[in-house]
Structure 1
Amino acid sequence: MIRTLLRVLGPEYARTMRRTVALMAITAAVEGLSYALLVPVLRELFGSTPDDAVPWLIAFGAAVAVYAVLRYISDLSGMRVGTKMLHGMYYRLGEHLARLPIGWYNSGRVGEVSVMASRGLLQAMGVAAHLLAPFVSALVTPLTIVAVMIAFNWQLGLAALIAAPVVAAIQVWTARSMAGTDAERHARDTEASGRVIEFLQAQPVLRAGGRTGERFELLDDSLREVQRASRRSVLAMLPGAVGLTLTVQVSFTVVLALGTSLALGGSIGAAEVLTILVLAARCADPLLSLSDIGGKLRGARSELERLDKVLRTEPLPEPREPLRPVRHDLALESVTFRHGERTVFDEVSFSVPQGQRLAVVGLSGAGKSTLLQLLARFYDVDTGAVRVGGVDVREISTDVLMAQIAIVFQDVYLFDGTIEENVRLGRPDADEADVRAAATAARLDEVVERLPGGWAANVGEGGTLLSGGERQRVSIARALLKNVPVVLLDEVTSALDPVNEAAVHEGIERLMAGRTVVMVAHRMRTVQRADRVLFLEGGRIVEEGSHDELLSRSGRYADFWNISVTPVASE
């Protein structure tokens, strides 16, 4: 458990954690040793001169005071370490998630990461703050007390020590029997979290289709599975908890019977028997708590293992000696790329000279958006190479590559904050004049003027307080402010009304001016402004040329063009 925790935390926390564990162990040992002073205290109290117990009582009080101070220091240390680790792990997890390839984020990851980043991380990092001290105490204090008992009377000490391997065996058996139910419980929790997120995100569609009741039933089914998994987890834990309780109680009874027998035989006195019983009772309390602590530690360990698995997931490799491109042309050379078992691209090659515009056209599922993601190195290709300025993107550091590229997606996500904060994501150190100029070029200034609060207007989580066209203007202003030589556009006007479409097109034209551009085109008016057009189909480039050249060939592009523009012409 501690080894897994230290591996997840990294070397920067290892020394602090080991020091905290050592302090907790010393505190637990001092607690056990303080009870050893009960032997002379009770012996003198029940002897012929009770006044002789005063020095021992003072020593016992001093030992308890020392224990109390150590307990305060160790608990405070555990709390500080836990808080520091939680803070650090949020940053580490966030940074690691940001470096993982986009392909890692499949549909099942949303609920898993949501649970991990909230309850899971708190549970795992709460070990140092809340579970480690009682766990160490439950192990070290009874062993110290047993050692004292052996020193006092070896027969009674050995009788108490017999319970140790039984308790350990019960804990191991319980952990193994709980492994399956813990995994099932986690799977059900993750599924339920995903269902809740799905239910919330799908409200507009569900209400439009009048199927909210059915979807609510699916969510209820998922929550009922969580309840069943919880019940099975409790039932699986019961034998271990009952076995632990019986073992401790039987051991206490054996010590009591043996102590009584020794007292009746004259081997020890009544005061010594009473002392042994007090020690045995104090030894039993922490052992009985092991069942509850063990369950919590198993849950924390499961979360640690899942967290460790995520942190061990390799991000895209960074070059040891990164290169910096001096040109801004783009190229794919014999690129093959597979997504799962599907081959998205098969030996695809093309180039985009610096300062030119390339439009990518094709049916849905042809891989147009994936092509942009390969250029931005959201994925690594299986074979071939993606080049920026003649340099393989795998030989360019992520920071340098991202400093060369601006991406405007079809679906814009804005962070919960002001309009200005979202625009400044393009270049946080930009001065106010540059921000205002980028906004004007994207015609975002029109939106700012009519919104209450202006630049300080909050956009809401995901930009929900703005319309689709307004979000696109923010995204374009952000890209303009970044002012980079390469622009990737995933057709941004496909779902806009005519007014917003015209405004966004104007902003896009300013964004593309003088830059190397690759644009995914859904609306064919965009294609006419490109220097060259690629038509993708079946993982290959089936046609390539200028708009007019492709029309004159009367091939797949011409058919696609005619289908796209015919409804407009008939209107």
Structure 2
Amino acid sequence: MIRKVFALVPREFAALTPKLVAAITVQALCQAAAYVLLAPVLEALFDGDTGGAWRWTIGLAVAVAGVIGFGFVQAVVGLRIGVGMQQGLQTRLGDHLNSLPLGWFETQHAGSLSRLMVENVREVQGLIAYLLAKMLTGVIVPLGVAIGMLFVDWRISLAMLSAAPVLYLVNLWANRSYTASDERLHEASAEANARVLEFAQAQPVLRSFGAVGEGNRALNAALARQRRAATGLLFASVPGLIVFSLCVQAVFLVLVYLVVGQVTDGGISAAAAIALIAVSARFIEPLNQAAQLGTALRSAASAADRVTTLLAEPTLPQPDSDLEPGAPSVVFENVSFGYRPGAQVLSELSFTVEPGTTTAIVGPSGAGKSTVLRLAARFHDVDSGRVLVSGHDVRSQSSRSLLGRMSLVFQHVYLFNRSVLENIRAGRPEATDAQVRAAAAAARVDEIAERLPRSWDSAVGEGGAALSGGERQRVSIARALLKDAPVVLLDEATSALDPQSEAVVVRGMHELTRGRTVMVVAHRLATIAHADQILFMEAGRIVERGTHDQLLGLDSRYAAFWNERSRATGWRLESASV
């Protein structure tokens, strides 16, 4: 565990870790020496040997001074590493998250990452700053006392050394049961955090369906699971703590029994017996402290495991240098891909999107349409084949360079809890206010700003909660317009909008796609009909391709799809006559 924790220490503080361990070790040895020296000091005092008592007291004073001096050093160094570690480790985790495939985040709970970045990092930091000294002291001091007792009474020393493996095995047993329960609590707490966040963000939906309070079964179930996991952790930790404490006390009783037996047999004097009992109590003290800290140590060790596991997640390989981009085209060559082994989503997909053209991808749900866009943006790496953007394999381009030449507008728009202006500027941070407002005007966001209390400076709420779905899409399109990238990946999200909002969003989309290379997962008939190329997908394959007229002429899958969509657009509700 110690090696794993030290591996998490930032590089600028790594050089201090040997100094910290050395200070703790020397302090613990001085403490052990002080405990061992109690025996001759007390024995000399009880025997009335004042001169001998003074000689041993000088040695005891030197040992105590070492405890104080090296204790101060380890406290300062440990605190320095711990404080620096919290910020450094969070920065390291943030950098690592930035280098993971974008698709990795689609399967992760925000609550789990939040708990890991804050609570788990704090536990690991506390392990270095405070708990490490207590943990090493709990091992070194008893061992040092046991070895030092060889020079006082070998039988007591042998009993102490014999107890060590027993206590180790009991602690190992307690760790195993605790670790499994702690992992269950972490998962339950992460789910509960996510459900609380969801509960706060989805109040309009929850209230409209009466799912607040006791009616919100998902939140209640998550909180109940967290309570059960916390109770399980308690029941898993308490037995181990009790058993370990009982074993420690049993060791102390055995030591006292041995001392009393020697007095009874006349092997040692009553004064020596008192001294040995005092040393035995000092031998037990660090073990009792270790038992009391056991839960905190195991929790910190589990936190270190989770942090290490996240840092071990494979990052998206990045090239050493970027290639000069060619014309803005997108090419799929025999691409196959699955999100997990044995479950293929795309099979030998091949097509080309020529520069300045629009390719519409249509088909039934689950055909793999959105996956195509995600592979073009390298959310994941393909299993076989290759994806080329601007003439180069996406794997030979850095994520910054690749995504810098793309504007992505997907169905689920996320806005930051900042002003309208700042949310649009995220598309190009160096843009001027005039450029931001020009992009906003093209997407008709200026109409939104006019009705907000603080106009452009109004915060849009977490996730854009203060705006409607259509308004969030307009801000997203304005952001993409400001970026002015040559390749546009568009997952149309107008099907859930009212006709007025849809008309405004569609105008913004037309402005966004003009003169650019566009791949669009199309839902609107007008977008499909005007595309330069249409790819009709089923079960991860392209089963038909061509222009709108060509595919209608085939009178096959696409024609049936078109006719069904056309009939659906003519549906309307009419009042029933009685």
Whether these two folds match at TM > 0.5 is yes
CA distance in 1, matches of 2:208, 2:563: 33
Q: Which amino acid aligns with 1:383?
A: S
Alignment of 1:450 with 2:451, yes or no, is: yes
% identity of equivalent residues: 43
Residue 478 of structure 2 aligns with which residue?
477
**Cα pair distance change 1:295/1:453, threshold 3 Å:** same
* Partner residue in 1 for 2:142: 142
Take 1:506 and 1:177, find their aligned partners in 2: how far apart are those partners?
61
Distance 1:525 1:356 in 2: 16
Which residue does the alignment assign to 1:113? Answer: 113
Matched residue, 1:99: 99
Paired residue type of 2:96? H
Distance in 1 between residues matched to 2:472 and 2:176, nearest whole Å: 52
Q: Any idea what the Cα deviations from partners look like across 1:181-204, whole Å, max 9, x if unmatched?
A: 444444444454455455555554
Give, in angstroms, the shift of residue 205 of structure 1.
Answer: 4.1
Deviation (angstroms), 1:462: 1.0
One-letter amino acid matched to 2:380? Y
> Is the alpha carbon distance of 1:194 and 1:25 closer, same or farther for their aligned partners in structure 2, counting shifts above 3 Å?
same
Partner residue in 2 for 1:403:
404
* 353-362 vs 123-132, which moves further: 123-132
Aligned twin of 2:576: none
Offset at residue 99 of structure 1 (A): 2.9
Shift of 1:287: 0.3
Select between 267-276 and 354-363 the one with higher mean Cα deviation.
267-276
Q: Deviations over 1:479-506 (max 9, x none)?
A: 1222221111111333333333333233
Task: Please give the alpha-carbon distance, in whole angstroms, between the structure 2 residues aligned to 1:166 and 1:539.
Answer: 60
Which residue number corresponds to residue 305 of structure 1? 305
User: How far apart, CA to CA, are the structure 2 residues paired with 1:442 and 1:493?
Assistant: 14
The Cα of 1:7 is off from its aligned counterpart by: 3.8
Distance 1:91 1:481 in 2: 29
User: Residue 214 of structure 2 contacts residue 220 of structure 2 at CA under 8 Å; is this kept in 1?
Assistant: no
The answer on whether the counterparts of 1:489 and 1:519 sit within 8 Å (CA) in structure 2 is yes
Q: CA deviation at 1:21?
A: 2.4
**2:490 corresponds to:** 489
Number of aligned positions between the proteins: 571
Per-residue deviation, 1:512: 1.7
Matched, 1:156 2:147: no
Alignment partner, residue 318 of structure 2: 318
Q: Is the 8 A contact 2:79 2:129 kept in 1?
A: yes
* 1:405 Cα deviation from its structure 2 partner: 0.8
CA displacement, residues 162-182 of structure 1 (integer Å, 9 cap, x when unaligned): 322221222223223444444
1:369-426: CA deviation from partner (whole Å, max 9, x where unpaired): 1111111111222222211122111111212111111101121101222222222222
Query: What is aligned with 1:559?
Result: 560
TM-score by length of 1: 0.89
**Structure 1, 393-402 or 293-302: larger mean CA deviation:** 293-302
Q: Which amino acid aligns with 1:32?
A: A
1: CA distance, partners of 2:453 / 2:62? 67
Is 1:359 aligned to residue 360 of structure 2?
yes
Amino acid at match of 1:278: A
1:45 touches 1:51 (CA, 8 Å); kept in 2? no
Change over 3 Å in CA distance of 1:187–1:284 after alignment to 2:
same
**Alignment RMSD:** 3.1
* Structure 1 match to 2:575: none
List aligned pairs for 1:459-474, cutoff 5 A. 459-474=460-475
Could you list the per-position Cα deviations for residues 413-448 of structure 1 after superposition, in whole angstroms to 9, with x for gaps in the alignment? 012222222222222222333223222222223322
Determine whether 1:419 maps to 2:395.
no
Contact 1:417 1:459 in 2 (8 A): yes
Q: Distance in 1 between matches of 2:111 and 2:427?
A: 29
Matched-pair contact (CA < 8 Å) for 2:109–2:190: no
Partner Cα separation in structure 2 for residue 4 and residue 17 of structure 1: 13
More off after superposition, 235-244 vs 399-408: 235-244
Q: CA shift at 1:304, angstroms?
A: 2.4
Distance 2:153 2:67 in 1: 25
1:241 maps onto 2:231 in alignment: no
Q: What is the one-letter code of the residue matched to 2:396?
A: E
| Post-superposition offset of 1:348 | 1.9
Structure 1 residues not aligned, in runs of 5+:
none
Residue 78 of structure 1 corresponds to 78
8 Å CA contact retained: 1:423, 1:477: yes
Report the AA paired with residue 423 of structure 2.
N
Check the 8 A contact 1:324/1:396 in 2, yes or no: no
Q: Which residue pairs with 2:173 in the alignment?
A: 173
- How far apart, in 2, do the equivalents of 1:456 and 1:54 lie? 78
The CA distance in 2 between the partners of 1:432 and 1:334, in whole Å, is 44
Normalization by structure 2: what TM-score?
0.88
Distance in 1 (CA, whole Å) between partners of 2:218 and 2:457 is: 41
Cα distance per residue 1:510-569 (max 9 Å; x no partner): 222221111221122223443222222232223322334334444433333333334545
Say whether 1:131 aligns with 2:131. Answer: yes
In structure 2, how many angstroms separate the alpha carbons of the residues matched to 1:41 and 1:252? 21
DSSP-derived class of the 1:536 partner? strand
The residue type paired with residue 479 of structure 1 is A
User: What are the residue-to-residue correspondences of 1:46-65 with 2, within 5 Å?
Assistant: 46=46, 48=48, 63-65=63-65
Give the AA of the match of 2:252.
Answer: F
Displacement after TM superposition at 1:31 (Å)? 2.5
- Of the structure 1 ranges 464-473 and 62-71, higher mean CA displacement relative to structure 2 is found in 62-71
Cα distance in 2, alignment partners of residues 170 and 342 from structure 1? 45
AA partner of residue 339 (structure 1):
Y
Distance change (3 Å), C-alpha of 1:501 and 1:222: closer
Q: What is the rounded CA distance, in whole Å, between the counterparts of 2:149 and 2:25 in structure 1?
A: 19
2:443 partner letter: A
- Does structure 2 retain, via aligned residues, the 8 Å contact 1:6–1:13? no
Q: Cα gap change, 1:408/1:286 in structure 2, threshold over 3 Å: closer, same or farther?
A: same
Q: Distance in 2 between matches of 1:299 and 1:451?
A: 47
Number of the residue aligned with 1:509? 510
CA shift for structure 1 position 111: 4.8
Please say if residues 324 and 400 of structure 1, whose CA atoms lie closer than 8 Å, have aligned partners that are also in contact.
Answer: no
- For structure 1, which segment, 354-363 or 37-46, has the greater mean C-alpha deviation from structure 2 after superposition? 37-46
